[in-house]
Every structure is written in C-alpha cells, then in structure tokens.
Amino acid sequence: MAKAGIRQAPSLEAGRRRLAALLALPAWAFLIAVFALPILGAVWLSFRNETLGAFVPPRFVGLENYRTALADPRFWESIGTTLWLIVAGLAVQLPLGIGLALLLHRNLRGTALFRTVLIVPMLLTPVAVGLMWRFMLDTDFGIINWALGQLMERPPNWLGARWPARFAVVIVDSWLSVPFVMLMVLAALSSLPRGPAEAAAIDGAGPVQVFWFVTLPALVPVILVVVMIRVVDVVKLFDILFIVTQRGGPGTATQTLGLLTYNTGFIFFQISRAAALGVLLTLMLAPIYFLWRRVGRTP
C-alpha cells in the first residue's frame, strides 16, 4: 500500500501542473495577442519598405531601414536630447523628491495638507498639464514671463529657443514627477528600522551624518528603482512634448527618440523606418530591464 501511495503522488503532482497550465492558457493567449504579435509585426515591418501613400509596391529590404536610421544625424541628435533630458530631469527630481520625503517623514504640523497638495500634479492628465504650462510659458502672454519681466529686462523665450525649450520640458516633467519620487522615498523611509539611526545619533552623529551614512545607503535600492522608472518614462515621453513644444520644437531641439519615431511614422508616413526606430528604442531599453531584475533579486 505504501508503494502504491508513493507511485500515485508524482502522477497527482503532474496532474496539478497540467491543470495549472490549462488554467493559465487564456492569460498566455491574451498576452500573445496583445503584446507578442504587435511586437513581432513591428519587427517584420522594420525589414520592409512600407510607406503610406506611396505607389511603390512594398518589398523586403533587410537591414536597410536600420542602416538609414543609424546614418541619420537626427537619430543621434534625438538620442543626445533624450540623454540630456534624463540627466537634467534626474538632477532636479531626485534631490527635490528626497528632500520633500524627508520633510514629510518628520510629521510636522500641516504635513497631511502639504502631502495632499504635493500629489495634485499626479492626479492631472498630461495633456491638460501640457496645455496649462504652454499658456504659462507663452513669451507674450504667459504669467511666468510676466513675473520674470519684473526682475529682468528680457525674459527667456521658453518655447522659441533651443535651450530654454529644453529647460521648459525639464520643468514641466519635474512638476509632474517630483511627487512620484517623493511618495516612493517616503514609503521607503516609513519602512526603515529606527535602530541604526538612533544608534548613530547616540554615538554623536549629526542629522546630516545620519542621513548620509545611515539613511541614504538604506534608500539606495529604492532610489535605483526610481531612477530606472524615470529613465523609461523620459524615453517614452510623448504627450508633454507634443503639447508644450509642438512635436519637439523649436525645430528638433526637444525631439527625443520616441518623438522622432512618431514623426517618422505618422507625419512623414515612413512606417517601416518608424518600426526600425521602435526596435532600436526597445534594444536600448533592454539593459534597464536586466538591471531591474538584478535589483529585484537583491535582498
């Protein structure tokens, strides 16, 4: 009887696994239909010369679209713009987000009201935010230049010059993203044990030393996750750029790689080249995914 029970146990476990696989089939079918097939379609399209409105019959061109993209100066300019927006945005958002989180973590009077006010930007749609900031940054009628005009003779032409437009994008994106960084760091601060900080304070460490040598190292995994999320967000940033800068203007000053892909496919109707740009964009973001998995495995 014992041997029969031992023989039946593996078959029972195998039956459970088959049942679990059958129950997971609808979810896998949905994922394949929604994610895998469009991605494979985009990869196949990138090897052809599909162009909307052209009378030339489409054909297989191999890596021609990729060679064209890599030889295009606009491609490298868009990568440089994307990297600049990432670095400048993180340089603004991380210190502000961490500082606000530390301030709210002290639970001073009015903290609840202050926290509610700070998360308001996260509740607004990006299109509405883009329109609001576009009106505020207007050279002639914007309230920002009106206020700056009281302090200087010639306020910046935010949306009409290269570098002011880039700084304007960083300002708008930071206004939307600082609350996210703040909430992530605040949640991490709430979960940290108080013992190490209290022990450091007893040993004579000041508030700055406690933060720099005790609190900040404990926050590094969360900050790294925030950085990865913000990098992906900036790379796929579209709505703010489309509304505020009118598709990456002035000229191509604020045209990121994602916006270049949109302009190539939906403005110039070169959908195969746009698909190639999308594949290149995905390959560039692949290291972020592997870094994310490594951080997730870190105890």
The model's pLDDT over 96-139, given as tens digits with 9 standing for 90+, comes to 999 999 988 888 787 788 888 888 888 888 889 999 999 999 88
Lowest mean pLDDT among 106-110, 150-154, 260-264, 276-280: 106-110
Which residues are 48's β-sheet partners? 60
Between 260 and 34, name the one with better pLDDT.
260
Q: Which two tokens stand for residue 245?
A: 């800068």
pLDDT at 150: 87
Residues in the chain: 299
Mean pLDDT value across residues 155-178: 92
Mean pLDDT computed over every residue of the chain = 86
DSSP letters of 112-175? HHHHHHHTHHHHS-HHHHHHHHHHHT-TTT-HHHHHHHTT-SS---TTTSHHHHHHHHHHHHHH
pLDDT at 284: 86
For 45, phi and psi rounded to 5 degrees?
Answer: -65, -30
Mean pLDDT value across residues 166-179: 94
pLDDT at 166: 93
Quick one: CA torsion of 183, 186, 191, 192, rounded to 10 degrees? Answer: 150
The pLDDT confidence band at residue 1, using thresholds 50, 70 and 90, is very low
CA distances from 183 to 140, 172, 208 (A): 36, 18, 21
DSSP letters of the chain? -HHHHHHHHHHHHHHHHHHHHHHHHHHHHHHIIIIIHHHHHHHHHHTB---TT--SPP-B-TTHHHHHHHH-HHHHHHHHHHHHHHHHHHHHHHHHHHHHHHHHHT--TTHHHHHHHHTHHHHS-HHHHHHHHHHHT-TTT-HHHHHHHTT-SS---TTTSHHHHHHHHHHHHHHHHHHHHHHHHHHHHHHS-SHHHHHHHHTT--HHHHIIIIIHHHHHHHHHHHHHHHHHHHHT--HHHHHHSTTT-STTTT--HHHHHHIIIIIS--HHHHHHHHHHHHHHHHHHHHHHHHHHH--
pLDDT at 144: 92
- Check whether 32 has a pLDDT greater than 90: no
Mean pLDDT value across residues 255-278: 91
Between 206 and 147, name the one with better pLDDT.
147
The pLDDT confidence band at residue 10, using thresholds 50, 70 and 90, is low
Mean pLDDT value across residues 12-36: 83
* Contact present, 158 and 248 (Cβ < 8 Å): no
- Check whether 239 has a pLDDT greater than 60: yes
Sign of CA dihedral 136, 137, 142, 147: positive
pLDDT at 296: 59
The pLDDT confidence band at residue 44, using thresholds 50, 70 and 90, is very high
Neighbours of 189 (CB within 10 A): 18
Sign of CA dihedral 125, 96, 285, 35: negative
What pTM value is reported for the model?
Answer: 0.85
Distance separating alpha carbons of residues 197 and 211, to the nearest angstrom: 8
Distance separating alpha carbons of residues 277 and 279, to the nearest angstrom: 5
- Check whether 5 has a pLDDT greater than 60: no
- Check whether 203 has a pLDDT greater than 50: yes
Give CA angle at 164 (91, 89), nearest 5°.
Answer: 20
CA distances from 149 to 133, 155, 176, 201 (A): 18, 6, 25, 47
Distance separating alpha carbons of residues 8 and 21, to the nearest angstrom: 20
Report the percentage of the chain scoring pLDDT > 90: 36
| Domains defined for the chain, CATH in brackets | 71-297 (1.10.3720.10)
pLDDT at 52: 81
Lowest mean pLDDT among 88-102, 135-149, 187-201: 187-201
Mean pLDDT value across residues 146-167: 89
